[in-house]
Amino acid sequence: MSLTSAVKEIRATREGTWILTAQCPSRLGTVDVVTRFLREQGCYITEQQSFDDSASERFFIRTEFRPLDVDQGGEFDAAAFEAAFTHRASGFDMTFELTPPERLVPVVIMVSKADHCLNDLLYRYRTGQLPITIKAVISNHPDLASLAEWHGLDYHHLPITADTKPEQEQAVWSIIEGCGAELVILARYMQVLSSDMCERLSGKAINIHHSLLPGFKGARPYHQAFEKGVKLVGATAHYINDDLDEGPIITQGVEAVSHADTAEDLVARGRDIECLTLARAVALHVQRRVFLNGNRTVVFQR
């Protein structure tokens, strides 16, 4: 299936649906300022979820809508919509994002040697299951070049040592910036990013850690899990921050294991749940279902 026809299939099911997401400090009227505006603009709401977090005193909303003008042959003027909404919401200290229906989020994927998460993401990309466009694959190892290249993707081999870390990260950043990536997926990239890099990528980089955080942070979590004798292993997809394996969690997956599984068996068993958990997190992110809320997330599931 060509990428184009796959994307068309996505469109067919959610044809012409825009997404408006917004957040602001809690106060009276937050929902109304959004929904009344949509009504006045002739926007037809198909799904909406909002949540007001009493702990952080912040408000979050996600709306899927179809501009009715378009159904009647007109055109939806996104710039005008944004300008008008900015004006309308000015008293609410609100940030918002408007996402068009055919929008493919530009993405960079970073990997090391393990290929399972990359392979899984590339399959979903190739078949149009994820509304992303992969701009580049970056690795500190050459191993996965042929996999990336079979999918017609640029593969940047940027080796790293303790000494060359600043330069390597600068090169990585140049690629990310140069291609306009809005999301970086750390698909089993086995390097700790510098504080500086974490800062730059805040809220824009998703990592998959191969344990149920906060259990088994750091290196070789399956070997830690084996030693501890747990009966469940798992994976955690989270935004990175400067505190290793402590960033805001998006989603987690779990798999039962037994006494007969060696540490290597756990590694093998974990691959599927890592792939699924990372892919689910990416899908939630690009569908604008995830909001940062301090060190936690708000996730509006379908």
Name residues contacting its own copies, limited to 282-301 (CB under 8 A): 293, 295-299, 301
Positions of E strands within 158-225: 183-186, 205-209
Site for its own copies in 103-162 (CB under 8 A): 115-116, 119, 123, 127, 129, 143, 150
The DSSP annotation for 219-246 comes to S-HHHHHHHHT-SEEEEEEEE--SSTT-
Task: Tell the smallest beta-carbon distance from residue 66 to its own copies (Å).
Answer: 10
Torsions phi, psi for 123 (to 5 deg): -60, -45
x/- contact string, 174-213, with its own copies (CB under 8 A)?
Answer: --------------------------------------xx
Task: Tell the smallest beta-carbon distance from residue 173 to its own copies (Å).
Answer: 28
The stretch near its own copies (CB under 8 A) out of 72-80, 101-109, 202-210, 256-264 is: 256-264
The helix (H) or strand (E) run that includes residue 157 is strand 155-157
SS3 for 198? helix
72 binds its own copies (CB under 8 A): no
Q: How far apart are CA 48 and CA 165, in angstroms?
A: 44
**Is the CB of 139 or the CB of 251 nearer to its own copies?**
251
Site size for its own copies (CB under 8 A): 71
The stretch near its own copies (CB under 8 A) out of 73-81, 163-171, 187-195, 249-257 is: 249-257
- Is position 243 annotated as part of the catalytic site? no
Per the residue annotation, which of 245, 261, 265, 272 is the catalytic one? 245
Q: How far apart are CA 131 and CA 97, in angstroms?
A: 16
Q: Which residue has the tokens 């190892």?
A: 141
229 binds its own copies (CB under 8 A): yes
258 binds its own copies (CB under 8 A): yes
Which residues make Cβ contacts (< 8 Å) with residue 91, sequence separation at least 6? none
214 binds its own copies (CB under 8 A): yes
Q: How far apart are CA 39 and CA 45, in angstroms?
A: 9
Site for its own copies in 29-68 (CB under 8 A): 29-32, 35-36, 38-39, 42, 44-55, 68
Q: Which bin fits 157, alpha (ψ -120 to 50), beta or left (φ > 0)?
A: beta
- Which positions are annotated as active-site residues? 245
